[in-house]
Structure 1
């Protein structure tokens, strides 16, 4: 098949990779356009230093990089290789960085890439220019190396051209022409260039630093900021005289000083992230023919590089005999969260983006996008962290995009704690309870822009009642023993939790019930008042989200969702006849979770209806008044205790808080934070989408088979799921840890003897059960209850035992009481 007419805008490493991957899958009606000459187009690919370090806290990003390494290693142009696999070495010059290298070793091992921790002598043996006195240790990835970006572009465009792909140089894109179908859908029809129109059924924007400018032509705002990054080259370094090969030493990162290094014969390239952020508007980038060297290259600002050169001479003493001969301030793309922007516009069908992708991940993204376009989904990579539709509205504001892009530039090489919130633009979103939470001295972290209490210092007196064990240093950051006291107080009496940050969607219309039946794995078309835990799946049976669906009226449902991607997924599948509407009601509403064995004693005297076990059963909902506050009460609990999620309009939220707070006082009730919530939910074995399971996992592997009702009719992913249900080879498994100081944080490798067999997803200390808890993906053979494994935690191996779940209240008597 020739496939639909596709126009790829941008012939850098991403556009070239996509053209190659699409054409290899049979789509050959493809045209690649670029405003510059080929293969040196003038974008970021044309000046990229080419260092490919695969290690990343994101499993997806590591896998995209691994595929890039594998593919580029197989490519050459006229006998010249596109990848020099010299290895990658990260060195530590401080104890904090040495500990971080152990953590990074855990990530890359968990993601299945060979890695070795080295002592100082071994580091110097690999890279003799290092000053042995400065180096405390290192991390070596033997398969890392140098990508020859321009050669990679050339090789992949040649391969694509050989299959019939057209490659058009010096074609500036002026507009994206769209039309509106009879059903009101806007679709791309053509790309308008300075050489005329190119008809298109699909347009993919791979324009890099020009991405926001091109996307605006299709009415789409991209949260992308081009920033200048300094790259300098030394003159000849005397000790390297006579080096014939371009690179013989590993690429080197000195992250303590925001520096990296690479060979170029007898010279060194030096990259620097420690200078001030230098953002550039895409609209201000020079045209191809007006730029001094190329549009993505700005003049080198020597003063900004002074500290980098001083530190380089200290780390690599041989450079003291050399000078900086040339340098550039090269433009690269940065996003608000440091991840790529992949996917289709929510408003214009057929307009896709593959943006904010560096050389490191380029071929992987090319493959991912080709699968997505040809098959309707990506089977090789979990792309939920990269989906361009993942952002809340405030995250697209120009001030936000600029500030967070600059912040991510500054933090490229920083040691980031998993709980560390952004340091600027706060607060952005506050629940109606925020004033009361501040009065209780809440310690706030951020969730989707919301200020969310992690614990309340006002609860410190509870510590006189319980001896809360302290975790190790890393887990003790952004932690307080109050977390444990709040968890235990919830189990003993009653607590209220701010659940406002939970995404809430309203689905209405005459076709709402049948629509949701087709989108979810459970039977949600039950009686009014029913609440159903269900999953949404992709076409291949992978989990796209777990949601709760409450039927609040014959044609009205409320969904407890995981974020903007759920709204996007549902919206894309709406029937075109207008029989169903979906809207986000999060900002206009709020929610308190009231949970604990005394919850009914607190709530019933306030209510105008029956909240007994008979009056409102488990997983049922109803409308009521709590004092003078109208609420929608749903009897469900993610902490494993009796209680309700109480929803009301935002303007009534503060009144609801005050009403419950006063009623809790005789029962020593408290407000509790997210730290306690996470501990309690893991004691019950409740999963969190995006952490415990993602697109790459199916319900049977994730322990969620109970949420699949194959007798409820057809739904997206059902056919694939029926094939997967008999082929389970791994499971999300509960592990317990006896040593409180061995509590881990997530993404650590799990070992069975010397072999890494899996990785941790969620972890916390279980204060009720008196053990650490870690959920991990393990092969079936390693997931037998009672088996002892080890979790790699920094330099330690922490013993952990496979345990039956749930760890708390397996009879569900507390929830159903």
Structure 2
């Protein structure tokens, strides 16, 4: 076909012509964006897409990711009819088998969760596995799950069909045309410069730029002024010689042997997710890379092949037709990157698909197109929102170290509380060595090393993972008891701290947040930042430090996202927004004896009259200075003590010395989570997200609609008139044995009505506790509670008691003592 001319302006310029770039072009065009331009440096699909295995599975870790994967397979099922391009898509079903008891519990929990998300799934016995997959040696198989609607497709043709569909709707696709640079004005990119294979060059003025660069995403990001943490790794599979009589088989996954199998035109493909993988192209991807393979590394692949030959005996006699090694990109947490980049206001990302690009691309393209069209997320995409990545995670040495592990983690057991082993120790709080000396066992979040629990003298200070009670269960019970009955100390320094300062600070806070911030100095306001649907964008506490200054405290993982939300809504308000997280350490002093302890180390007045709940004061502490905030996430009397980083060591030693005389206990994040769930406190990202209405989340008390205009006010008032469609309910299992994590199905009078948004063990209440939304349109609170409830734990229904008020201390008297 004749080469069209590259236009001089476009509403969207997509950089990268793999499956995700083609999907985004298709979905934008479908929404009526006629001037969309896709630039591909070489040929469409020539990076990772062309050599992908093309597995199309629906089951992902959360409801929304599953929704996107389900959409992908529905889309690919219809593409051929729409475009005339054969996508090779067939629903052959898929089987995952477990070789251990732990893995069986994992896949059975996944199956229960899938049902709650509306996926067709069945738990099957080893004999039923054999009936569906005769070639499999089922020695050691403990169970399986069967998804009849899963399938496989031809990755390159799926991408080409999407590209053709996009063109049919008016998008323009240019191959052999490389994005060379950009013109930038502040937080926006105004033009993209290109050069093609014929040596022609030019510039496209644009309203939006989207980085769909795949394994080039990191460097394309640098060019666009944004951080896209991902690393290319070598990824291996073999294809056998033709095997006589081999017909279409389901896709088979054997994660305990790091392997997957798919039948392809009478041959068998065996792919690997090895535990220690090989990062590739540390010096940059070669400039001429196009449909390229990497050198074979048989030694690296051999341990997986050895197990495969015994698992699938016909491979032993078939002979290898192709040994393939192709690069693919992996992110620090094994979730892809989607959305509006925090550093810029018109630069978007869809990259880093961690071996699930084909099955994710349809849904990810649709979700991102909708986000671009509406200017807000269509639903919660927190798992994959690029805003979750910390700036340091773009560091190349960090990516090299972490990517060795993330590829293998896709098929490792996905145990609760699983901690990454690589690239650790990057961010430490000022109390780090004090905690370590006292037996802290650290987990990592957003790069921060956080004490999750404390080992007893002589106990192994490390995790031994399981779906049942883990080694720290009794330790956390003891920490929990200390906080409920005496005194617990824990480190909250990793929580984000953002200063909002300037003449308009009060007016700005009242616009961005649902609370009332025109309060006396020292007052602490618990509050949410809402979007215009009254969904929750951030869950924070805000302390008024002076007439013109507020301190906003955020969860550690969302500091960047929350700060970005404030920056984007700053408008004409005269304020400066600064991240001061690393400037102060925070030690929480919690429990019925918290006041007595602080009175031993400080001459200040901690009485209700002077320092009531929800207020902060400047104090003397030991020989230094600090600020005591009387607020709690565990539901007890207590203070969060803020101390500048230089005095943190002194403050810790002063408090800990006095605390030991009172039998105070050092506690970790697991204790904090188990105490907060007993109290029914919401956890951002699990219980409350941008798609959960603040009133349905039960947080109406934190929203003050009688003040001037604020973001989300109309949606709050509309819901007040219309009534709630769902309510956040707290559940306690009546059997003290089973454990809850999250996503377990909730059954109301025997029918699945939803799933738990979070779960943990309530050591004080004596059973596992979960929070979850129950649909209740037109019902009163009493009607919701009149039903009988069960929670499905790995296929077993467990009776649960339901409550709308916190099961622990419903009146909140303890925190105000």
Residue from 400, 404, 421 that aligns with 2:419: 421
The aligned counterpart of 1:479 is 472
- 1:802 deviates by 1.1
Residue from 510, 530, 543 that aligns with 1:537: 530
DSSP 3-state at the match of 1:407: helix
The aligned counterpart of 1:345 is 341
Residue from 650, 653, 656 that aligns with 2:648: 653
Match status 1:221 vs 2:219: no
- In structure 2, distance between residues paired with 1:171 and 1:650: 51
- In structure 2, distance between residues paired with 1:261 and 1:639: 47
- In structure 2, distance between residues paired with 1:300 and 1:99: 36
Q: Cα–Cα, structure 1 residues 796 and 576, in superposed 2: closer, same or farther, change >3 Å?
A: same
Match status 1:310 vs 2:306: yes
- In structure 1, distance between residues paired with 2:350 and 2:282: 16
The aligned counterpart of 2:165 is 159
DSSP 3-state at the match of 1:349: coil
CA RMSD of aligned residues (A): 2.4
- In structure 2, distance between residues paired with 1:686 and 1:3: 50
Is the contact between residue 687 and residue 758 of structure 2 (CA under 8 Å) also seen in structure 1?
Answer: yes
Deviation larger for 689-698 or 487-496: 487-496
- In structure 1, distance between residues paired with 2:424 and 2:169: 51
Query: Superposition pairs for residues 657-676 of structure 1, below 5 Å?
Result: 657-676=652-671
The aligned counterpart of 1:364 is 363
- 1:343 deviates by 2.3
The aligned counterpart of 1:699 is 694
The aligned counterpart of 1:447 is 445
Is the contact between residue 102 and residue 466 of structure 2 (CA under 8 Å) also seen in structure 1?
Answer: no
The aligned counterpart of 2:111 is 105
- In structure 2, distance between residues paired with 1:145 and 1:724: 41
Residue from 770, 773, 777 that aligns with 1:777: 773
- 1:551 deviates by 0.5
- 1:32 deviates by 0.9
- In structure 1, distance between residues paired with 2:287 and 2:434: 54
- In structure 1, distance between residues paired with 2:416 and 2:21: 33
Residue from 206, 210, 215 that aligns with 2:216: 210
- In structure 1, distance between residues paired with 2:146 and 2:786: 35
Residue from 183, 186, 189 that aligns with 1:187: 189
The aligned counterpart of 1:27 is 33
Residue from 467, 483, 486 that aligns with 1:493: 486
DSSP 3-state at the match of 1:158: helix
- 1:153 deviates by 1.8
- In structure 2, distance between residues paired with 1:502 and 1:670: 21
- In structure 2, distance between residues paired with 1:325 and 1:303: 17
Query: Superposition pairs for residues 634-783 of structure 1, below 5 Å?
Result: 634-725=629-720, 726-752=722-748, 755-780=751-776
Deviation larger for 701-710 or 445-454: 445-454
Deviation track 1:66-100 (CA, whole Å, cap 9, x = no partner) reads: 11111111110437355211111111233332222
Is the contact between residue 523 and residue 532 of structure 1 (CA under 8 Å) also seen in structure 2?
Answer: yes
DSSP 3-state at the match of 2:190: strand
Q: Cα–Cα, structure 1 residues 707 and 129, in superposed 2: closer, same or farther, change >3 Å?
A: same
The aligned counterpart of 1:633 is 628
Q: Cα–Cα, structure 1 residues 226 and 742, in superposed 2: closer, same or farther, change >3 Å?
A: same
Query: Superposition pairs for residues 356-435 of structure 1, below 5 Å?
Result: 356-357=352-353, 358-379=357-378, 381-435=379-433
Q: Cα–Cα, structure 1 residues 738 and 593, in superposed 2: closer, same or farther, change >3 Å?
A: same
- In structure 2, distance between residues paired with 1:472 and 1:776: 25
The aligned counterpart of 1:464 is none
Count of residue pairs brought into register by the alignment: 789
DSSP 3-state at the match of 1:309: helix
The aligned counterpart of 2:3 is none
- In structure 1, distance between residues paired with 2:465 and 2:623: 46
The aligned counterpart of 2:89 is 83
- In structure 2, distance between residues paired with 1:307 and 1:682: 44
The aligned counterpart of 1:54 is 58
Deviation track 1:752-798 (CA, whole Å, cap 9, x = no partner) reads: 46532221222223233333311122222798336432222234322
Q: Scaled by the length of structure 2, what TM-score is found?
A: 0.92
- In structure 1, distance between residues paired with 2:341 and 2:190: 11
Is the contact between residue 17 and residue 43 of structure 2 (CA under 8 Å) also seen in structure 1?
Answer: no
Query: Superposition pairs for residues 243-254 of structure 1, below 5 Å?
Result: 243=247, 248-254=248-254
Is the contact between residue 784 and residue 802 of structure 1 (CA under 8 Å) also seen in structure 2?
Answer: no
- In structure 2, distance between residues paired with 1:367 and 1:395: 27
Is the contact between residue 339 and residue 385 of structure 1 (CA under 8 Å) also seen in structure 2?
Answer: yes
Is the contact between residue 275 and residue 407 of structure 2 (CA under 8 Å) also seen in structure 1?
Answer: no
Q: Cα–Cα, structure 1 residues 447 and 677, in superposed 2: closer, same or farther, change >3 Å?
A: same
Deviation larger for 385-394 or 749-758: 749-758
The aligned counterpart of 1:814 is 814
DSSP 3-state at the match of 1:80: coil
- In structure 2, distance between residues paired with 1:459 and 1:482: 11
DSSP 3-state at the match of 1:125: helix
- 1:25 deviates by 1.1
DSSP 3-state at the match of 1:567: helix
Q: Scaled by the length of structure 1, what TM-score is found?
A: 0.92
- In structure 1, distance between residues paired with 2:681 and 2:547: 29
Is the contact between residue 238 and residue 322 of structure 1 (CA under 8 Å) also seen in structure 2?
Answer: no
Is the contact between residue 627 and residue 641 of structure 2 (CA under 8 Å) also seen in structure 1?
Answer: yes
DSSP 3-state at the match of 1:84: coil
The aligned counterpart of 1:262 is 262
The aligned counterpart of 1:554 is 547
Is the contact between residue 677 and residue 760 of structure 2 (CA under 8 Å) also seen in structure 1?
Answer: yes
Is the contact between residue 621 and residue 633 of structure 1 (CA under 8 Å) also seen in structure 2?
Answer: yes
- In structure 2, distance between residues paired with 1:458 and 1:279: 38
DSSP 3-state at the match of 2:329: strand
- In structure 2, distance between residues paired with 1:635 and 1:384: 30
The aligned counterpart of 1:274 is 274
Is the contact between residue 118 and residue 140 of structure 1 (CA under 8 Å) also seen in structure 2?
Answer: yes
The aligned counterpart of 1:465 is none
The aligned counterpart of 1:331 is 327
Q: Cα–Cα, structure 1 residues 269 and 801, in superposed 2: closer, same or farther, change >3 Å?
A: same
DSSP 3-state at the match of 2:717: helix
Unaligned runs of 5+ in 2: 1-7
Deviation track 1:406-461 (CA, whole Å, cap 9, x = no partner) reads: 21012120002221211123323222222322232122222332222233335999
DSSP 3-state at the match of 1:664: helix
Q: Cα–Cα, structure 1 residues 65 and 643, in superposed 2: closer, same or farther, change >3 Å?
A: same
Deviation track 1:597-626 (CA, whole Å, cap 9, x = no partner) reads: 221122234334322101011111221212
Q: Cα–Cα, structure 1 residues 567 and 459, in superposed 2: closer, same or farther, change >3 Å?
A: farther
Is the contact between residue 785 and residue 801 of structure 1 (CA under 8 Å) also seen in structure 2?
Answer: no
DSSP 3-state at the match of 1:425: coil
- 1:142 deviates by 1.5
Deviation larger for 346-355 or 257-266: 346-355
Q: Cα–Cα, structure 1 residues 449 and 262, in superposed 2: closer, same or farther, change >3 Å?
A: same
- 1:730 deviates by 2.1
The aligned counterpart of 2:434 is 436
- In structure 2, distance between residues paired with 1:104 and 1:397: 34
Deviation track 1:86-128 (CA, whole Å, cap 9, x = no partner) reads: 1111112333322222122133223221210111222122222
Deviation track 1:293-319 (CA, whole Å, cap 9, x = no partner) reads: x14x32333333323333222222223
DSSP 3-state at the match of 1:613: coil
The aligned counterpart of 2:123 is 117
Query: Superposition pairs for residues 504-543 of structure 1, below 5 Å?
Result: 504-543=497-536
- In structure 1, distance between residues paired with 2:18 and 2:716: 38
Residue from 202, 205, 218 that aligns with 1:199: 205
- 1:575 deviates by 3.0
- In structure 1, distance between residues paired with 2:659 and 2:112: 45
- In structure 1, distance between residues paired with 2:351 and 2:746: 34
